[in-house]
């Protein structure tokens, strides 16, 4: 299963390049945080050489060996880390990018006085 940030969350940062950078940062950070806490997930990278690369994601794999309690605990950890990291990343994102995204990437002219 692949987990991605919601489109309305990443749309706040403007261009597709910035959106992918934000998603990659969040996925990589969540992966490292979860690994440090004993939950193994990965943030895959693809080299498809296609015009449209897959969006960054977290890949979660489970087996029949995992108990329902382990799965519940892992899901809660991944969700908590994703929310915390995404909030922190959005706050730290450059202000000029956030301002551009507030106008859907269109610069507004200053009104003549």
Domain boundaries in the chain?
A: 2-97
pLDDT given at position 16: 86
| Distances, alpha carbon 101 to alpha carbons 3, 9, 24, in Å | 24, 11, 18
Q: With 0-12 CB in 10 A as exposed, 13-18 as middle and 19+ as buried, what is 112?
A: exposed
- Residues 82 and 21: their CA atoms lie apart, in Å, by 15
Q: How many CA atoms lie within 13 A of 3 on its CB side?
A: 18
Q: Write the pLDDT tens digit of every residue in 57-71.
A: 999 998 999 999 999
More confident residue, 88 or 47: 88
Distances (CA, A) of 71 to 3, 42, 80: 15, 16, 14
Q: Say which residue, 53 or 72, is predicted with more confidence.
A: 72
pLDDT band at 96 (very low <50, low <70, confident <90, very high): very low
Report how far residue 3's alpha carbon sits from residue 78's, in angstroms, rounded to the nearest whole number: 10
Return d(Cα 54, Cα 69) in angstroms, integer.
Answer: 31
Token couple for 6:
């919601």
Give residue-wise pLDDT tens across range 7-59. 888 888 888 888 888 999 999 999 999 999 999 999 988 877 777 788 889 99
Structure pTM?
Answer: 0.75
């Amino acid at each position: 299963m692949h987990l991605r940030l919601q489109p309305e969350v990443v749309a706040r940062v403007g261009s597709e390049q910035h959106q992918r950078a934000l998603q990659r940062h969040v996925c990589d950070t969540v992966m490292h945080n979860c690994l440090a806490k004993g939950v193994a997930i990965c943030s895959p990278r693809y080299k498809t050489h296609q015009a449209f690369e897959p969006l960054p994601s977290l890949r979660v794999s489970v087996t029949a060996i995992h108990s329902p309690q382990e799965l519940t605990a892992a899901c809660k950890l991944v969700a908590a880390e994703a929310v915390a990291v995404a909030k922190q990343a959005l706050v730290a994102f450059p202000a000029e990018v956030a301002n551009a995204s507030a106008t859907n990437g269109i610069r507004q002219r200053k009104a003549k006085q």
